[in-house]
């Protein structure tokens, strides 16, 4: 339940960035986040390398 809430919050966060240069980009290194990662883990706003 809590995990779903975090996912929803993350998804809303991305939707808010839709159409901006920050959409789909890692907040740490600025590289584009893999779309599959974005869809499966919307609560994460880091790319795979930065999430380690
Ligand atoms: Zn990164």
Domain that holds residue 26: 2-51
Residue 32 DSSP class: B
CA of 24 to the centre of ligand 1 (A): 11
Quote the CA–CA distance of 8 and 12 in Å, as a whole number: 6
- Ligand 1 centroid – CA 50 distance (Å): 4
CATH number of the domain to which 32 belongs:
1.20.120.910
Could you identify the residue written with the tokens 């839709």? 18
Task: Tell me the pTM.
Answer: 0.82
Which residues make beta-bridge pairs with 32?
25
Q: Does 1 score more than 90 pLDDT?
A: no
| Cα 48 from chain centre | 11
Residue pLDDT, tens place only, 7-51: 999 999 999 999 999 999 999 999 999 999 999 999 999 999 999
Question: Rounded to the nearest whole angstrom, what is the distance from the C-alpha of residue 51 to the centroid of ligand 1?
Answer: 7
Ligand 1 centroid – CA 1 distance (Å):
27
How many domains does the chain contain in total?
Answer: 1
Let me know the angle formed at the C-alpha of 15 by 33 and 42, rounded to the nearest 5 degrees.
45
Answer for the pair 10, 40: CB distance below 8 angstroms, yes or no. Answer: no
What per-residue confidence (pLDDT) applies to 16?
A: 96
């Amino acid at each position: 339940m809590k995990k779903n809430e975090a996912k929803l919050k993350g998804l809303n966060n991305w939707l808010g960035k839709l159409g901006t240069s920050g959409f789909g980009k890692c907040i740490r290194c600025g590289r584009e986040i893999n779309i599959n990662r974005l869809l499966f883990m919307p609560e994460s706003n880091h790319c795979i390398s930065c999430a380690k």
